[in-house]
Structure 1
Amino acid sequence: MTNEEFGWLVARLDTQAANAPRAFRLKVLFISVAAYVALFLALLAILLLFGWAVVHARTHGPSRIAFAACALGLVTLPVFWVTLRTMLMRLPPPEGREIARNEAPVLFELLDKMRAKLGGPAIHHVLIDRDYNACIAQRPRWGLVGPSVNYLVVGLPFMFGQSTSEMLAIVAHEYGHICGAHGRTGAWIYRQRLLFAEVLARVESTVEASFAHMLMARALHAFFPYFSAYTFVLSRQNEYEADQASVKMAGAPAAASSLIRSSLLGDWFHRDFWSTLYRQADTRERPAFLPYKAMGTAFRMSHDEWASGDALKAAWRRDSNADDTHPCLRDRVEALGQPPALPQPVQRSAATALLGAFGERLAEEFDADWWKEQASGWGERHRHATRSLARLRALNGAALAALPLHELQEMALLKAEFETPQAAKPVLEHLLRQPGGPFPRASYVYGRILLGEQRREGLAHLETAARSDRHLVDDALRAGFAWLHAREGEPVALQWVDAVLEARPA
């Protein structure tokens, strides 16, 4: 099944789920149970057949029927072993810094009240990590089976960005995924999805694949895309139900505000916060500020930058797609009956309110870990930038016409890296007009600049780069595909990639 076919199937099933949510849930449950039963009945039949053959041979002597049954059992036994090992595989626990009740009593009191109100299972472990995210993770005690151990994982950056009521809404949403019948059913179906995906991967990766392996792989290939589509839509349906847990705990306005803030601030955090921090390496041997201690202040000071009308309009235009089980922001907020309102500045973050001084100590811990990981790379970048900027100053003093081709390209690439695309453009255009080309790296950079200006002719320069330098093929195709996919759709983007690859010299 192609990605486009999967998308169409998900869209059709979305309609079914919206029109009859209970019936759709029962249908997915039936498919999950039927697939599970069919898999293990087949494996049980293989074992029984093998056992019958052994007993028949011992009591009646060798025969062709017994020999054939025994051979079939031996051939299919590896498939049974793969499935059994997969069922017993242990999922790794989530990563993060586990915290105890005495370290963050206010947070644990809030979780106690939430559990009492929503009537869900215990949260066995609370972890704080370095991501901008929050989730509930379940890990069965024995591989993919057995009672579940529940982990709440909350990112410290996420807590710095949210108010206490918004944080409660987010955590209640995640907790809602494991509450009630839908939580237990959803968790079970999620594990079946893991099981079938892992069985398929292990069967396909077997070096000496038997005939039975190939038959099972073919059956799973035929079944799994449909199973994935049904469970994908059910997961999306569960998101709306989990949002009602947010409403029950924090109210609809806080639930909607948390969704909008998470989207807008998350976009800015991943796009601008880290890039601004790392740009300091061009001029400083150490950062002027470490990230986690600075996040709360950075989020407040940049509020008008990320919480803008244009940012909200752009987020509101995004549609739900087959790449994410979460419905789009617009659909979730409208389902809560709330308008698209910009979130207000947070005066006292959830990290401060729920973690207190312990939150500051966590930030220091995370900063120390971050710098330990980044110090070497930061130093390398600083040394590279120092040399490059000195070289660029020397090149900037010369007229373009007086520079040889290799220095023209060096100057253009340095301007693109350390100044602005607009500063690099005249140099690139001058270079690309010169005889002696092609200049693949310059063509690649110029093509990226043109696509950034929404000019389609940038694709031609990416094609030149891909045809002329095998080291640039992946980067050029990735850039062109992403640009075309966003504007003209996946089929057009794939057609362009195929055409470029066919035109490359052997």
Structure 2
Amino acid sequence: MTNEQFDALVARLEAQAQRHPFLYKSRVLLMALLGYGYITVMLVGLVMATLLSLLFLKVLGLKLAIPLLVLIWAVLKALWVRLDAPQGRRVTQREAPALFEMINDLRKRLKAPRFHRVLITDDFNACVVQTPRLGVFGWYRNYLVIGLPLMKSLSVEQFRAVLAHEFGHLAGGHGRISNWIYRLRLSWHRLMDSLTAGGHFGTFLFRRFFKWYVPYFTAFSFPLARANEYEADAAAARVTSPGAMAQALTAVNVVGSYLDERYWSDIHRSAVDLPRPAFAPFERLAERLSSDIEPASRQLWLEHALERKTTSADTHPSLSDRLQALQQTPHLVLPAREERADLLLGPALQSITQELDGQWEQAILPAWQQRYETATQGRKRLQELEVCITEGTALNASEAYERACLTEEFGSGVEDALEQFRQLQQQEPDNPVACFALGSRLLGRDDEAGLDLVQRAIALDEDAMLPGYELLRDFCWRHGQEAAAHAWHDKLMQRAELLQRARAEREHLSLKDKFDRHGLPDEVIAQVRACLKSIRGLRKVYLLRKRLNLFPEQPLYVVGFSCTPWWGIYRRKREAGIGQRIVDELNLPGEIFCLSVDGDNYRFGRKFRWKRGTRVR
């Protein structure tokens, strides 16, 4: 199913859900039952085939039954999807009585079930999570997960509206339904990934059906998830007010953009100059909100949020659509210090904030210190290159590219770096790295001049296709060029699928594969023999080249080795250690696939033995 077909189907189903909600929900249920029905029929058929083969074919039936049982087990294992309980700092009613008073009041007014746990996390979000304690048999445990950054960004009344929205999901049973649909989607994807990756016998029984079924089930369930958001918004507006809900939605979008684009990036950027974090991000968040979001940035982020359209990329409707459903206009009101929702945590606020800050520092410190060390070395290298420029020494293309990157990251900044990238591209117009470097940065500034440069980089270098298609798609999408964005997205998916098939071809060997002589010169083989001689325990080593359908110009060398003496005992652990040493120490002009030809792989040994000129030890 193409993106256009998916979008058209979702639009048609949304219209049907509005006109005939019962009929639409019945179709979603039937689609879910269709998947279950197909799995049931296939499993019953596989079990019957296993029993009949054992009953009538005797020894031959046993050989057939083993792969059938493996396939049955793989299917059942993939279908069992367990949702883990969310993690966070648990807060109790004794610690935060004001928060729980609000929670209990909303629960009663919306007639929602109670929460078993209330958790505070470091996410800018709030959500309801229901996890079944008995798997498919239910008995749900309810969690209310609240992000401390969200509480610091909203007033008490705005936060009350957000909680009411989450209670609306719970009261309407959305959490349970959404979890069920989520588990179904995850089950189908896990099933196909498991069967495809494992190369199980009989995969064809499932592949074609689910390749058709999964996109259709996703499309059919999509409007249901989106309608749940509108219903939860309406419930929150009834319990609080439409204005409070509109303020909360506006604040979440604007503050979310501020956190993503400025707050956290500024913090992480300081790792360039500081050997360890100098402040606590969650403790200082509220005061930074009031000082950093100036009117110009506030208006820009709000305009971007309102320009976003509701698409099939997300079940959540856009801000403009949600405000329209509430019959409200956007209104950003940041809370004063005494109005912030985090004050509902009472005496527990300080300890919770300190805990989250401590956890953040502990988690980020290794990467922070590594970043600081990298920055120190980068500044030193940049200084060396600048000295070369000062002394009149010309830099080659690689050094000029390195200088521009270091200038951007550790030097005088983006503007100077952009000029260096521009000069490099003018000097090397057919250099794909230079074209992509300049083009990607121009597109990041919404400059259309980057379009031709990125497309030129793609034409010059296949490795630029994936990141290039993604950049072009995102640029077109930001500028309302939906047809072009979909076209680039289709190319991106086609390329990703091609690379995935190529990777699968290189990650698996079978006796049906064709192998050629390695074709390496004598001096390389001499180096290979010298390397293998240093690895103790090797008896025989074969070196071949797998015949590939995709990207055959990029060779895959197959190293088959034997390490079990004819009088010895086969040991899997010893075999794995020797195989890893071969991969680590052998240097060949291509990828290496190493496998033992002992044990279950003895037939590969027979096949390799008859290929003349392949034994290198």
Same fold, TM exceeding 0.5? Answer: yes
**Displacement after TM superposition at 1:291 (Å):** 0.9
Which residues of 2 match residues 334-349 of structure 1 at below 5 A?
Answer: 334-348=324-338
Matched-pair contact (CA < 8 Å) for 2:50–2:69? no
**Displacement after TM superposition at 1:438 (Å):** 5.8
**Displacement after TM superposition at 1:496 (Å):** 7.3
Q: 1:475 to 1:40 in 2, by over 3 A?
A: closer
Aligned to 2:539: none
Whole-Å Cα distance in 2 between the matches of residues 463 and 270 of structure 1? 28
Q: CA RMSD in A?
A: 3.7
Correspondence 1:420 to 2:413: yes
Whole-Å Cα distance in 1 between the matches of residues 106 and 152 of structure 2? 21
Q: 1:116 to 1:485 in 2, by over 3 A?
A: closer
Tell me which of 94, 111, 120 is aligned to 1:119. Answer: 111
Q: 1:454 to 1:116 in 2, by over 3 A?
A: closer
Matched-pair contact (CA < 8 Å) for 1:318–1:328? yes
Q: 1:21 to 1:347 in 2, by over 3 A?
A: farther
Correspondence 1:448 to 2:443: no
Aligned to 1:98: 90
Aligned to 1:235: 225
Aligned to 1:289: 279
Aligned to 1:314: 304
Whole-Å Cα distance in 2 between the matches of residues 75 and 376 of structure 1? 46
1:261-313 Cα offsets, whole Å, 9 max, x none, are 11111111111111111222222333342211111111222233587233222
Correspondence 1:278 to 2:268: yes
Which deviates more, 137-146 or 326-335?
A: 137-146
**Displacement after TM superposition at 1:466 (Å):** 5.7
Correspondence 1:368 to 2:358: yes
SS of corresponding position for 1:353: helix
Whole-Å Cα distance in 2 between the matches of residues 423 and 54 of structure 1? 74
Q: 1:414 to 1:68 in 2, by over 3 A?
A: closer
Gap runs ≥5 in structure 1: none
1:230-273 Cα offsets, whole Å, 9 max, x none, are 11111111111111221233221111111111111111111111
Matched-pair contact (CA < 8 Å) for 1:161–1:349? no
* AA at the equivalent of 2:305: A
SS of corresponding position for 1:217: helix
Which residues of 2 match residues 4-23 of structure 1 at below 5 A?
Answer: 4-23=4-23
Whole-Å Cα distance in 2 between the matches of residues 306 and 126 of structure 1? 37
Which deviates more, 29-38 or 145-154?
A: 29-38
Whole-Å Cα distance in 2 between the matches of residues 21 and 454 of structure 1? 42
Whole-Å Cα distance in 2 between the matches of residues 243 and 266 of structure 1? 19
Aligned to 1:304: 294
Aligned to 2:317: 327
Correspondence 1:210 to 2:201: yes
* AA at the equivalent of 1:493: W
**Displacement after TM superposition at 1:481 (Å):** 4.4
Aligned to 2:540: none
Q: 1:412 to 1:217 in 2, by over 3 A?
A: closer
Whole-Å Cα distance in 2 between the matches of residues 34 and 387 of structure 1? 59
Runs of 4 or more consecutive aligned structure 1 residues displaced over 6 Å after TM superposition: 48-51, 66-75, 397-401, 467-473, 495-499
**Displacement after TM superposition at 1:402 (Å):** 2.6
Correspondence 1:257 to 2:247: yes
Which residues of 2 match residues 369-388 of structure 1 at below 5 A?
Answer: 369-388=359-378
Return the structure number with greater relative CO, CA threshold 8 A, min gap 6: 1
Whole-Å Cα distance in 2 between the matches of residues 253 and 469 of structure 1? 53
Matched-pair contact (CA < 8 Å) for 2:153–2:335? no
* AA at the equivalent of 1:119: K
Aligned to 2:152: 160
Whole-Å Cα distance in 2 between the matches of residues 490 and 95 of structure 1? 37
Which deviates more, 471-480 or 196-205?
A: 471-480
**Displacement after TM superposition at 1:134 (Å):** 1.2
Q: 1:309 to 1:439 in 2, by over 3 A?
A: same
SS of corresponding position for 2:139: strand
Gap runs ≥5 in structure 2: 500-550, 555-617
Whole-Å Cα distance in 2 between the matches of residues 205 and 428 of structure 1? 42
Aligned to 2:344: 354
Whole-Å Cα distance in 2 between the matches of residues 297 and 324 of structure 1? 32
Aligned to 1:150: 142
Point out the structure with the larger helix share. Answer: 1
Tell me which of 130, 135, 146 is aligned to 1:138. Answer: 130
Q: 1:198 to 1:120 in 2, by over 3 A?
A: farther
1:450-497 Cα offsets, whole Å, 9 max, x none, are 323434443444456567778766555543443345444334425876
* AA at the equivalent of 2:421: L
Q: 1:430 to 1:401 in 2, by over 3 A?
A: farther
**Displacement after TM superposition at 1:163 (Å):** 1.4
Whole-Å Cα distance in 2 between the matches of residues 225 and 473 of structure 1? 25
Which deviates more, 313-322 or 285-294?
A: 285-294
SS of corresponding position for 1:109: helix
Which deviates more, 175-184 or 309-318?
A: 175-184
Whole-Å Cα distance in 2 between the matches of residues 206 and 245 of structure 1? 47
Matched-pair contact (CA < 8 Å) for 1:115–1:122? yes
Matched-pair contact (CA < 8 Å) for 2:405–2:417? yes
Q: 1:145 to 1:195 in 2, by over 3 A?
A: farther
Correspondence 1:172 to 2:187: no
Matched-pair contact (CA < 8 Å) for 2:158–2:245? yes
Q: 1:454 to 1:339 in 2, by over 3 A?
A: closer
Whole-Å Cα distance in 2 between the matches of residues 341 and 351 of structure 1? 18
State percent identity of aligned pairs: 31
Which deviates more, 68-77 or 400-409?
A: 68-77
Q: 1:294 to 1:146 in 2, by over 3 A?
A: same
**Displacement after TM superposition at 1:72 (Å):** 9.5
**Displacement after TM superposition at 1:121 (Å):** 1.9
SS of corresponding position for 2:123: coil
Matched-pair contact (CA < 8 Å) for 2:226–2:317? yes
Matched-pair contact (CA < 8 Å) for 1:159–1:349? no
**Displacement after TM superposition at 1:184 (Å):** 4.5
